[in-house]
Amino acid sequence: MHRVGVVGATGAVGRELLGVLEKREFPCEAPLLFGSKGGQTVESGKWGPLDVSPFSVEGVSGLDVVFLAASGDFAKEYADKIAAVVKTCVVDNSSALRLRDDVPLVVPEVNGHLCKGAKLIANPNCTTAIAIMALAPIFAAFGLRKVVVSTYQAASGAGAAGMRELRDGITPALQNIKDDGCFEGASTAEVFAHPLPFNVVPHIDKFQANGYTKEEMKVTWETKKILGFDPKGDDGPKVSCTAVRIPTLRAHSEAITVETEKPCPAAACLDVLSDAPGLTVKDDPGDNLYPMPLTATGAFDVEVGRVRQNIVFGENGLDLFVCGDQLLRGAALNAVLIAEKALS
C-alpha cells in the first residue's frame, strides 16, 4: 500500500482529492492531511474522519506521493524541498511550476509517459485540462493550426469561497429583481470582480499587458506545452482564449473553434473523439443531446459535442463544445491519474 499526503486538504480541491482516491480505489493507506492551520478534521467515506496537521517538510518525508492543493506561493517555496524527500513524486495543482522546463505538465491520457521518473509534476489549469481532452486527439489526427476558445467557467474555479459567494448571493439577488427584469439595489462581490448571480463576468485572474487575462494566457501557454511545443514560442498551434465566469457551480464549459492542418470532416472528427479516452461524446441535435454542466458535474469524463464544420475555415475547420467538472478533470482526478502513472 502506498503512503500519500495531501497539502491544502481543507480546500475544495483537497477534499475532492480524497473522494477521487477512494472512488478509483487508489492503493494507499489513509492519506496524511496537511493544512495551513491544522487542528481540523476532514470527513472521508473510506477512512472516516481524518485529522489535518500543520504542514512541515519532515511531516511528508518518506511518503510515496504528495499532492499539493495549496497556493502558488506555497509551491514556489516548498515544492522542490518536498520533492527531495518523497519516494515517487509531488503533484502540484498550482500554476507556479507549470511552465518550468524541468517540470512536466501532464494530462495522463495525452502525455502520461512524462510521469515516469519525474519528481515534480504539474497539473494543468482546469480550463486547459478540459479543452485538451478534445484538442489532443484532434491534433493527433488532423494537426492544429489555430485554436480559439471561449469559456463559460464555474464558480468553483475560485475555490470553495467562490461557490459559497455564488450560492449565498442568489437569494439576495432574487429579491433585487423587479417585475421588468431590471435590478434595484446593489449586490456585493468579494471573491469575484462583480456579483455573479444572474451575471456573466469576462474577467478571470489578472489583466496582462497584452489585454488578455492570466487565465486566458494559461490556456495559450499550457495547451502548447502539453502538445509538445515551447509554451511561449512561435512554433505549434496559435491559441487564443476569452475566459468568462458564469453562475454555474463546478463544471466549466468551453466553445472551441479550430483550424486544422489536414481536412477534418465533422463525421471523421466525431469518430476520433469517440475513440479518445476520458471523453464522452454527447452529440445528437435531434435528441437535444449536447454537453452541459448539469450532466458533466460529478463525472470523470469530459463531455464533447456540437461538432460541426466551421463556416469560416471550411473543410479545415471545426466547431465543438466541451464541458467538464473542473474540480475533477481540472484538478483532483487529473492529479490522481498522474500519481497512478508515476507509480505504475
List the catalytic residues. Answer: 126, 252
- Kindly identify the residues of this chain, within the stretch 153-182, that bind ligand HSE according to CB under 6 A: 153, 157-158
Q: Taking a C-beta distance cutoff of 8 angstroms, is the pair 305, 291 a contact?
A: yes
Element housing 343 (H / E): helix 333-343
| 330 in contact with ligand HSE (CB under 6 A) | yes
| 126 in contact with ligand HSE (CB under 6 A) | yes
Residue number of the CB closest to ligand HSE reads 157
If the CB atoms of residues 204 and 328 are measured against ligand HSE, the closer one turns out to be: 204
CB of 330 to ligand HSE, least distance (A): 5
If the CB atoms of residues 81 and 167 are measured against ligand HSE, the closer one turns out to be: 167
CA gyration radius, the chain: 20
The interface mask with ligand HSE, positions 267-306, x = CB under 6 A, is: ----------------------------------------
| 204 in contact with ligand HSE (CB under 6 A) | yes
CB of 46 to ligand HSE, least distance (A): 26
| 122 in contact with ligand HSE (CB under 6 A) | no
Q: Among candidates 82, 54, 58, which has minimal Cα distance to 68? A: 82
Span from 130-138, 150-158, 192-200, 256-264 in contact with ligand HSE (CB under 6 A): 150-158
CA 301 to chain centre: 12
Amino acid at 100: R
Span from 96-104, 120-128, 131-139, 274-282 in contact with ligand HSE (CB under 6 A): 120-128
Task: Fill in the DSSP letter of residue 287.
Answer: G
If the CB atoms of residues 178 and 206 are measured against ligand HSE, the closer one turns out to be: 206
If the CB atoms of residues 158 and 256 are measured against ligand HSE, the closer one turns out to be: 158
CA 341 to chain centre: 18
Name the β-bridge partners of 190: none
Span from 99-107, 119-127, 228-236, 277-285 in contact with ligand HSE (CB under 6 A): 119-127
CB of 295 to ligand HSE, least distance (A): 19
Q: How far is CA 252 from CA 30, 255, 265, in A?
A: 30, 10, 26
| 125 in contact with ligand HSE (CB under 6 A) | yes
Grid cell, residue 175, equals: 429579491
| 326 in contact with ligand HSE (CB under 6 A) | yes
Q: Among candidates 170, 171, 192, 173, which has minimal Cα distance to 181? A: 173
- Give the pairing type, strands 251-260 and 317-325: antiparallel
Q: Taking a C-beta distance cutoff of 8 angstroms, is the pair 133, 276 a contact?
A: yes
Q: Taking a C-beta distance cutoff of 8 angstroms, is the pair 244, 204 a contact?
A: yes
Burial (CB < 10 A; 0-12, 13-18, 19+), residue 71, is middle
CB of 246 to ligand HSE, least distance (A): 10
CB of 219 to ligand HSE, least distance (A): 10
If the CB atoms of residues 42 and 217 are measured against ligand HSE, the closer one turns out to be: 217
Q: Provide the total of helices (H) and of strands (E) in the chain, helices listed first.
A: 10, 13
The interface mask with ligand HSE, positions 74-113, x = CB under 6 A, is: ----------------------------------------
Span from 19-27, 47-55, 122-130, 279-287 in contact with ligand HSE (CB under 6 A): 122-130
Query: Under rule CB under 6 A, how many of the chain's residues touch ligand HSE?
Result: 10
Grid cell, residue 233, equals: 514560442
- Give the pairing type, strands 65-68 and 50-54: unpaired
Q: What SS3 class is residue 296?
A: helix
Q: Scanning the structure block, which residue is given the C-alpha cell 475532492?
A: 16
**Chain positions contacting ligand HSE, by CB under 6 A:** 125-127, 153, 157-158, 204, 215, 326, 330
